[in-house]
């Protein structure tokens, strides 16, 4: 044994020296002398990566970055903080796609979740996938497609971690049908703010399960999620319909999300929508969809409509064969059904476009745009995004007051998404705050600051929120950002009391996710 002691203490001495030299803040000795201290990083590269995010607006410097190799490393770290008389804050960082420092931990420790790299296991009998909370949705999709299976509910962009989207909601054009991603989770493994490792589901530890879903990282760190699967299609009929009238556009969206699936046949699988601005049609990163010829026509249509038109997106999944002969949809019948459906809609005549694409390229559509923007140096710019959930009864006022009023959409850079979804697809027990009305709209004002206009965009966001408040709108921020507890209380409304109670049960010292600015950290 002595032969072991010498190198270990040598290693410890070296680690301690590095810490003393490089760590700006003192972390407890119990941590610095613990075996897991070898997972800590103090170099400026690690620290600066952990103090930035996709938003590029907030920069909080942690004392160290932690690279776990297992969930029990995370549990040890949490326990060291919780039982220390000098506890420190800890934030899980998935892919850092937050926009307001939500995954940062000023003077605390940021856990670099991707270091876990847990396996992804598909159960074809149980129709579920088990994946580490650090895994990305694109990884999960690639693995499940090997079995001709797929998760049901998505985000528009797949390079996000399971833990990151499940801490918020996970919304895209499938949510009207299946609910958000948090409505499609069977089980979770959690490391709580006390360092306990707990499995939970609707029937086992349901309090923790529902609190964590949409819980903004406040109650525990998700180390495994079991996600529901369905049969995967091979192909997608992807359609875009143009409108010059916002009211007709939203009426048709509402009609489409009200259609019920008939028997085993085809059904509408995805409904979204966005504003298309004449000046940014070409640089819109969401999806290269239109031919040059179509783009010219659309641009002309927009220019005759004060520079802005409305684009309804709808998709149908088909071809479920995969050599197993399941649910093979009759394509000719699908064509007829779609024609019949289009006949009921009010888009501008001659402005219906379609593409038939593979399921993978449909789901991964934003990635192409990302690569283009990266090549132009326009990905790593500040993103003062504002995401709102606005009730159907306020959507016309929102259009007039915000989209046509406060915002000068004819100059805005970045997509503006507008699409309806259904409250009944959310479980009331989940933490995410949503408007109190069956149909509400997901609005993404996803602007980039490309021309030193960050201050202007920030002011605009503040004005939009003020307008919504003054009008008494039934709305909630999605991916919310507030800095005072009063605002958080208002945000959670009826859910606040329970949210605070669960916090005191699972993270009583306020160690977790300090970047959300909800609860104070008590040493």
CA distances to 43, 144, 172 from 18, rounded to whole Å, are: 9, 43, 45
Q: Is residue 418 close enough to count as binding ligand FAD by CB under 6 A?
A: no
User: Which span (90-98, 228-236, 276-284, 321-329) binds ligand FAD, by CB under 6 A?
Assistant: 90-98
Site for ligand FAD in 52-71 (CB under 6 A): 53-54
Structure tokens at 435: 């408007």
Exposure string of 82-93, with b = 16+ CB inside 10 Å and e = fewer, is bebeebbbbbbb
* Residues β-bridged to residue 226: 130, 187
Structure tokens at 485: 């507890």
Residue 288 C-beta: closest distance to ligand FAD, Å: 16
User: Which span (72-80, 149-157, 292-300, 330-338) binds ligand FAD, by CB under 6 A?
Assistant: 149-157
- Check: CB of residue 461 under 8 Å from CB of residue 386: yes
Size of the site for ligand FAD (CB under 6 A): 36
Residue 233 C-beta: closest distance to ligand FAD, Å: 20
Q: Is residue 445 close enough to count as binding ligand FAD by CB under 6 A?
A: no
Q: Which of 32, 65, 80, 95 binds ligand FAD (CB under 6 A)?
A: 95
Q: Which of 103, 301, 302, 445 binds ligand FAD (CB under 6 A)?
A: 103
Cα–Cα dist 366/414, whole Å: 13
Q: Is residue 157 close enough to count as binding ligand FAD by CB under 6 A?
A: yes
User: Which span (17-25, 74-82, 160-168, 396-404) binds ligand FAD, by CB under 6 A?
Assistant: 160-168
Cα–Cα dist 216/476, whole Å: 15
Cα–Cα dist 176/317, whole Å: 15
Any catalytic annotation for residue 367? no
Q: Is residue 216 close enough to count as binding ligand FAD by CB under 6 A?
A: yes
Q: Is residue 92 close enough to count as binding ligand FAD by CB under 6 A?
A: yes
Of 130, 139, 156, 278, the catalytic one is: 156
Any catalytic annotation for residue 207? no
- Check: CB of residue 67 under 8 Å from CB of residue 112: yes
For 438, the 3-state DSSP assignment is: coil
Q: Is residue 421 close enough to count as binding ligand FAD by CB under 6 A?
A: no
Q: Which of 37, 165, 280, 409 binds ligand FAD (CB under 6 A)?
A: 165
Alpha helices in 272-412 (DSSP H): 292-303, 331-342, 359-363, 365-375, 395-398
Please provide the size of the chain in residues: 523
Helix/strand number for the chain, H first, E second: 17, 18
Q: Is residue 513 close enough to count as binding ligand FAD by CB under 6 A?
A: yes
- Check: CB of residue 134 under 8 Å from CB of residue 163: yes
- Check: CB of residue 106 under 8 Å from CB of residue 514: yes
Q: Is residue 198 close enough to count as binding ligand FAD by CB under 6 A?
A: no
Helix (H) or strand (E) holding 418: strand 416-422
Q: Is residue 167 close enough to count as binding ligand FAD by CB under 6 A?
A: yes
Exposure string of 118-129, with b = 16+ CB inside 10 Å and e = fewer, is bebebeeeeebb
User: Which span (16-24, 75-83, 140-148, 213-221) binds ligand FAD, by CB under 6 A?
Assistant: 213-221
Site for ligand FAD in 36-55 (CB under 6 A): 53-54
Q: Is residue 96 close enough to count as binding ligand FAD by CB under 6 A?
A: yes
41 versus 299: smaller Cβ distance to ligand FAD? 41
Q: Is residue 364 close enough to count as binding ligand FAD by CB under 6 A?
A: no
- Check: CB of residue 103 under 8 Å from CB of residue 110: yes
468 versus 511: smaller Cβ distance to ligand FAD? 511
Residue 175 C-beta: closest distance to ligand FAD, Å: 9
Q: Which of 51, 63, 102, 253 binds ligand FAD (CB under 6 A)?
A: 102
Which sign, positive or negative, has the C-alpha torsion 12, 15, 17, 23?
negative
User: Which span (28-36, 97-105, 249-257, 320-328) binds ligand FAD, by CB under 6 A?
Assistant: 97-105
Q: Which residues contact 356 (CB under 8 A, 6 or more apart)?
A: 235, 236, 237, 238
Q: Is residue 168 close enough to count as binding ligand FAD by CB under 6 A?
A: yes
Q: Which of 63, 81, 87, 91 binds ligand FAD (CB under 6 A)?
A: 91
Cα–Cα dist 129/172, whole Å: 20
Q: Is residue 172 close enough to count as binding ligand FAD by CB under 6 A?
A: yes
Q: Which of 94, 108, 382, 510 binds ligand FAD (CB under 6 A)?
A: 94
DSSP 8-state secondary structure symbol assigned to residue 271: E
Q: Which of 27, 64, 75, 113 binds ligand FAD (CB under 6 A)?
A: 113
Any catalytic annotation for residue 272? yes
Of 73, 189, 252, 272, the catalytic one is: 272
Cα–Cα dist 172/272, whole Å: 7
Q: Which residues contact 50 (CB under 8 A, 6 or more apart)?
A: 62, 65, 93, 96, 104, 105, 110, 112
Residue 324 C-beta: closest distance to ligand FAD, Å: 30
Cα–Cα dist 136/476, whole Å: 26
Q: Is residue 93 close enough to count as binding ligand FAD by CB under 6 A?
A: yes
Residue 303 C-beta: closest distance to ligand FAD, Å: 28
Helix (H) or strand (E) holding 47: helix 44-50
Residue 177 C-beta: closest distance to ligand FAD, Å: 15
111 versus 329: smaller Cβ distance to ligand FAD? 111
Q: Which residues bind ligand FAD (CB under 6 A)?
A: 53-54, 91-98, 102-103, 113, 133, 155-157, 160-161, 163-165, 167-172, 216-217, 221-222, 479, 513, 515-516
Q: Which residues are catalytic?
A: 97, 156, 272
């Amino acid at each position: 044994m002595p032969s072991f002691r010498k190198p270990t203490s040598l290693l410890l001495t070296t680690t301690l020296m590095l810490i003393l030299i490089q760590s700006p803040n003192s972390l407890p000795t119990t941590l610095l002398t613990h075996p897991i201290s070898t997972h800590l990083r103090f170099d400026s590269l690690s620290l600066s990566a952990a103090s930035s995010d996709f938003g590029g607006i907030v920069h909080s410097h942690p004392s160290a970055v932690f690279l776990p190799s297992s969930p029990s490393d995370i549990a040890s770290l949490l326990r060291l903080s919780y039982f220390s008389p000098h506890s420190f804050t800890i934030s899980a960082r998935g892919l850092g796609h937050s926009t307001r420092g939500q995954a940062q931990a000023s003077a605390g420790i940021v856990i670099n979740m991707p270091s876990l790299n847990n396996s992804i296991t598909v159960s074809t009998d149980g129709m579920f996938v088990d994946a580490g909370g650090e895994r990305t949705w694109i990884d999960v999709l690639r693995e499940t497609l090997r079995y001709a299976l797929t998760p049901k509910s998505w985000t528009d962009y797949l390079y996000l971690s399971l833990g990151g989207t499940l801490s918020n909601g996970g919304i895209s054009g499938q949510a009207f049908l299946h609910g958000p991603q948090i409505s499609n989770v069977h089980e979770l493994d959690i490391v709580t703010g006390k360092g306990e490792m707990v499995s939970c589901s609707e029937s086992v530890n349901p309090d923790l399960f529902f609190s964590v879903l949409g819980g903004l990282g406040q109650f525990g760190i998700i180390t495994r999620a079991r996600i529901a699967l369905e049969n995967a299609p091979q192909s997608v009929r992807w359609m875009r319909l143009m409108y010059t009238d916002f009211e007709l556009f939203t009426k048709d969206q509402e009609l489409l999300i009200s259609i019920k699936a008939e028997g085993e046949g085809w059904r509408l699988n995805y409904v979204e929508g966005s504003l298309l601005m004449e000046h940014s049609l070409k640089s819109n990163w969401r999806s290269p969809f239109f031919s040059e010829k179509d783009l010219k026509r659309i641009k002309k249509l927009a220019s005759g409509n004060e520079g802005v038109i409305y684009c309804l997106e709808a998709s149908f999944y088909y071809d479920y064969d995969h050599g197993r002969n399941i649910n093979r949809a009759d394509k000719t019948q699908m064509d007829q059904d779609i024609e019949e459906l289009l006949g009921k809609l009010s888009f501008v005549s001659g402005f219906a476009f379609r593409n038939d694409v593979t399921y993978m390229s449909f789901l991964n559509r934003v990635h192409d745009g990302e690569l283009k923007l990266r090549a132009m140096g326009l990905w790593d710019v500040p993103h003062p995004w504002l995401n709102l959930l606005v009730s159907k009864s306020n959507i016309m006022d929102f259009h007039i007051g915000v989209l046509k009023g406060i915002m000068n959409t004819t100059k805005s850079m970045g997509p503006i998404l507008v699409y309806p979804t259904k409250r009944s697809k959310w479980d009331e027990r989940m933490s995410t705050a949503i408007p109190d009305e069956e149909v509400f709209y997901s609005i993404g004002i996803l602007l980039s600051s490309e021309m030193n206009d960050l201050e202007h965009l920030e002011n605009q966001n503040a004005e939009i929120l003020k307008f919504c408040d003054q009008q008494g709108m039934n709305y909630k921020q999605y991916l919310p950002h507030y800095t005072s507890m009063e605002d958080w209380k208002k945000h959670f409304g009826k859910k606040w009391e329970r949210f605070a109670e669960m916090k005191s049960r699972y993270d009583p010292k306020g160690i977790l996710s300090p970047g959300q600015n909800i609860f104070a950290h008590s040493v």
